[in-house]
């Protein structure tokens, strides 16, 4: 017998509605509306201080949701924190690998923390290391790794729990172009194999253009423009009445206007982030 009752719509990977988060009098996130569709790579772009990291932390449940709602595959980040945590892997900006442990030991630690079943752990750790191209270096101390290898190790740590959603905060900042491409190639290989959704922040506009299905341009706590990179670039060309396709960086400047020169807002590649990363991988 067939049923006429339609299947319930599949939940989006992330839905933020009116998300607001303040540090004292600073509204880091100010009424953020955002949807990450299942299976897509969504890039949250913006200058330093736009509120990207704070928004990501609310989605990961590391920060509470004081106002608005955040859902991950339909689960409420405020009311179902553990259920949300089980669905995602998170690579923060700060160093999350221990330089005194081997690559394998680092990933095994995350497997324990994320409750990967004991009998599956060894194999899952091996698979996660293979997925990021670290099989040969797995038993070396992480302090012997290059910056790109450390980033891939952190990726393996986040992947070991087989997340449906991978959240990356500036995954390639401070890396050379080859190491950056390498990180993205590994992310995309895992996506192709698993259908995992990805929410990423980056300052690199050309990287967002190349790797993100859709981007949200965030400025002062809110998404100010949203679409595929091509849509946003074509939209600006039409507004300017020109045939020359502008870059995503041009679109951002158009959206954010003079705010980008605001000393409290910083620039696209503010040295602060680069320094933070240099310290992280040093």
Ligand X SMILES: Nc1ncnc2c1ncn2[C@@H]1O[C@H](COP(=O)(O)OP(=O)(O)OP(=O)(O)O)[C@@H](O)[C@H]1O
* Residue 280 within binding range of ligand X, rule CB under 6 A: no
24 within 8 A of 196, measured Cβ to Cβ: no
Residues 38-77 that bind ligand X (CB under 6 A): 46, 48-54
Is residue 236 part of the contact set for ligand X (CB under 6 A)?
no
Residue number with CB closer to ligand X (37 or 276): 276
DSSP string spanning 47-68?
A: -TTSSHHHHHHHHHTSS---EE
3-state SS, residue 202: strand
Q: Which is nearer to ligand X, 26 or 146 (CB)?
A: 26
d(CA 161, CA 125) in angstroms, rounded, equals: 9
Residue 63 three-state SS:
coil
HSE, side-chain direction, 13 A CA sphere, residue 111: 22
Query: Least CB distance from residue 51 to ligand X, whole Å?
Result: 5
* 279 lines the binding site for ligand X (CB under 6 A): no
* 46 versus 89: smaller Cβ distance to ligand X: 46
Nearest to ligand X of 111, 217 (CB atom): 217
Residues 22-41 binding ligand X (CB under 6 A) are 23, 26, 28
- Residue 193 beta carbon to ligand X: minimum distance, rounded to whole angstroms: 30
Q: Please pick, from the candidates 226, 273, 274, 281, the single residue that binds ligand X as defined by CB under 6 A.
A: 273
- Pair 71, 77: CB distance under 8 Å: yes
Residue with Cβ nearer ligand X (133 or 216): 216
Q: Does position 103 bind ligand X by CB under 6 A? A: no
Which tokens go with 179? 């190491």
SS3 265: coil
What is d(CA 212, CA 66) in angstroms, rounded to the nearest whole number? 29
Binding positions for ligand X, rule: CB under 6 A: 23, 26, 28, 46, 48-54, 272-273
């Amino acid at each position: 017998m067939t049923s006429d009752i339609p299947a319930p719509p599949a939940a989006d990977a992330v839905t933020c509605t009116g998300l607001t988060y303040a540090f004292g009098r600073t509204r880091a996130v100010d009424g953020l509306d955002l949807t990450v569709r299942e299976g897509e790579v969504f890039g949250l772009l913006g200058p330093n201080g736009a509120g990207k990291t704070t928004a990501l932390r609310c989605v990961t449940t590391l920060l509470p949701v004081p106002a608005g709602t955040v859902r991950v595959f339909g689960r409420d980040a405020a009311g179902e924190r553990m259920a949300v945590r089980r669905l995602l892997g998170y690579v923060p900006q700060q160093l999350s690998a221990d330089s005194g442990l081997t690559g394998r030991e680092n990933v095994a630690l995350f497997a324990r923390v994320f409750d990967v079943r004991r009998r599956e752990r060894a194999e899952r750790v091996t698979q996660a290391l293979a997925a990021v191209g670290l099989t040969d270096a797995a038993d070396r101390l992480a302090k012997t790794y290059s910056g790109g290898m450390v980033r891939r190790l952190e990726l393996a740590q986040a992947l070991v729990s087989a997340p449906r959603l991978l959240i990356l905060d500036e995954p390639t900042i401070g890396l050379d172009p080859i190491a950056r491409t390498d990180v993205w190639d590994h992310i995309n290989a895992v996506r192709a194999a698993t259908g995992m959704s990805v929410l990423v922040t980056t300052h690199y506009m050309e990287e967002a253009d190349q790797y993100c299905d859709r981007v949200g341009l965030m400025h002062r706590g809110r998404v100010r423009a949203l679409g595929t990179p091509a849509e946003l670039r074509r939209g600006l060309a039409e507004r300017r009445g020109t045939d020359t396709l502008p870059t995503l960086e041009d679109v951002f400047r158009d959206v954010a206007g003079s705010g980008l020169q605001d000393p409290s807002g910083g620039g696209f590649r503010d040295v602060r982030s680069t320094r933070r990363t240099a310290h992280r991988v040093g």
